[in-house]
């Protein structure tokens, strides 16, 4: 995805010198204030610390003053920096509002919706919604990045994305959510495994075999731990042979005969059709289903991205129509 750079050309008071102020530098400046250090900001924005320093040098030359006091503990904004912070937020906010109003005036939706999603909704559910939405709004693009649930929620809080889609969500006053699908976790085993030849009547049977688990920040991991706890099983009871970061890597390991695992039925369905693995439903006394959510921050000042609003309303409408039911 190509990122556009916007600049404001202004004349300084020193003769005919013309300087170009990059709006992205203002965003970096605001992020530094929030993070309290150049190094943390560099990590958040995924750029080098030297690039951060260069951007602030440009701003300080442009405004003719120091914006931060630097120390080994981090940075502290100066009084002049506080003035810029107030106006920078207004500038960027007004530009966002202007874009919304212009698109509304044109009567068509344009732009990009940024979504951070955990594996299951990102790879198996959101594509169906986004493709259908683009049929009516061809000038709308989606940038979907797949992370685990915790990272996706953190990016939403930081404003790095417009929406998050996760399979584990405790709620909160700062969020509103839509249940975009319901799925269940199953026990995936190699097709030639001895458990594949019978029904799983007691979850304690998994204690006898090598087990593969997701990383701690995964929504699937949390749901798996809930299910195991419901059955009176702790992680320390399992023969854990690996902790992997993606659902696909676990499915591959299972197909290769390296272990078994509780996993999304949606994600496992295609591989099961190849007969490399078999999915076993959990015993009836175990609650194996979970909701998958689309989440956004609640409005604070009554102003929101119309593009996101339209997609949100579209998803709500399709969910009421059981749009995703055919895929489950």
CATH (domain of 99): 1.10.10.10
Looking at the structure, do residues 242 and 226 belong to the same domain, yes or no? yes
Domain count, the chain: 3
Among 73, 104, 135, which residue terminates a domain? 104
Domain-located, residue 43: yes
* pLDDT tens string 63-99: 999 999 988 888 999 999 999 999 999 998 888 888 7
Looking at the structure, do residues 113 and 262 belong to the same domain, yes or no? no
Looking at the structure, do residues 113 and 189 belong to the same domain, yes or no? no
Looking at the structure, do residues 128 and 274 belong to the same domain, yes or no? no
Continuous segment of H or E residues that includes residue 117: strand 111-117
Share of the chain above pLDDT 90, in %: 53
Looking at the structure, do residues 193 and 281 belong to the same domain, yes or no? yes
* pLDDT tens string 86-137: 999 999 888 888 877 776 666 677 889 999 998 889 988 999 999 999 988 8
- We report the CATH number of the domain holding residue 309 as 3.40.190.10
The per-residue pLDDT for 59 is 93
Looking at the structure, do residues 49 and 122 belong to the same domain, yes or no? no
Looking at the structure, do residues 100 and 120 belong to the same domain, yes or no? no
Query: In terms of residue numbers, what domain contains 283?
Result: 184-289
Q: Is the dihedral of CA 211, 216, 220, 223 positive or negative?
A: positive
- Could you give the CA distance from residue 226 to residue 145 in angstroms, rounded to a whole number? 27
Looking at the structure, do residues 174 and 316 belong to the same domain, yes or no? yes
- Could you give the CA distance from residue 254 to residue 283 in angstroms, rounded to a whole number? 21
Give the 3-state DSSP-derived string for 70-87, with helices as H, strands as E and coil as C.
EECCEEEECHHHHHHHHH
Looking at the structure, do residues 172 and 313 belong to the same domain, yes or no? yes
- Residue 25 binned pLDDT confidence (cut-offs 50, 70, 90): very high
Among 84, 104, 124, which residue terminates a domain? 104
Give the 3-state DSSP-derived string for 272-316, with helices as H, strands as E and coil as C.
HHCCCEEEECCCCCCCCEEEEEEEEECCCCCCCCHHHHHHHHHHH
* pLDDT tens string 255-296: 999 999 999 999 999 899 999 999 999 998 888 888 899 999
Among 69, 104, 139, which residue terminates a domain? 104
Higher pLDDT, 121 or 18: 121
Looking at the structure, do residues 174 and 296 belong to the same domain, yes or no? yes
Looking at the structure, do residues 127 and 257 belong to the same domain, yes or no? no
Domain-located, residue 1: no
Domain-located, residue 2: no
């Amino acid at each position: 995805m190509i990122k556009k750079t916007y600049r404001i050309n202004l004349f300084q008071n020193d003769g005919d010198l013309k300087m170009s102020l990059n709006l992205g530098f203002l965003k970096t400046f605001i992020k530094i204030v929030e993070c309290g250090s150049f190094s943390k900001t560099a990590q958040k924005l995924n750029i080098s610390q030297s690039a951060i320093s260069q951007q602030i040098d440009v701003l300080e030359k442009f405004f003719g003053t120091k914006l931060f006091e630097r120390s080994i503990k981090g940075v502290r904004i100066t009084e002049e920096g506080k003035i810029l912070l107030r106006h920078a937020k207004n500038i960027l906010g007004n530009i966002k509002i202007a874009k919304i109003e212009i698109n509304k005036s044109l009567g068509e939706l344009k732009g990009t919706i940024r979504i951070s999603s955990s594996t299951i909704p990102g790879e198996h559910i959101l594509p169906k919604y986004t493709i259908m939405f683009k049929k009516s709004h061809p000038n709308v693009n989606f940038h979907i990045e797949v992370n685990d649930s915790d990272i996706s929620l953190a990016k939403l809080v930081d404003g790095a994305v417009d929406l998050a889609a996760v399979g584990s969500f405790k709620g909160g006053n700062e969020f509103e959510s839509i249940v975009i699908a319901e799925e269940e976790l199953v026990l995936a085993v190699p097709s030639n495994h001895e458990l594949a030849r019978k029904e799983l009547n007691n979850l304690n049977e998994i204690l006898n075999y090598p087990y593969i688990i997701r990383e701690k920040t995964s929504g699937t991991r949390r749901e798996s731990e809930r299910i195991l706890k419901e059955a009176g099983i702790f992680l320390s009871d399992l023969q854990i042979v690996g902790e992997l970061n993606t659902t696909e890597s676990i499915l591959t390991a299972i197909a290769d005969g390296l272990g078994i695992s509780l996993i999304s039925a949606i994600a496992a369905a295609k591989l099961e059709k190849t007969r490399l693995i078999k999915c076993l439903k959990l015993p009836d006394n175990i609650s194996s289903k979970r909701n998958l959510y689309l989440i956004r921050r609640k409005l604070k000042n009554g102003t929101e991205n119309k593009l996101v609003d339209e997609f949100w309303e579209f998803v709500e409408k399709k969910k009421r129509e059981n749009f995703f039911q055919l895929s489950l």
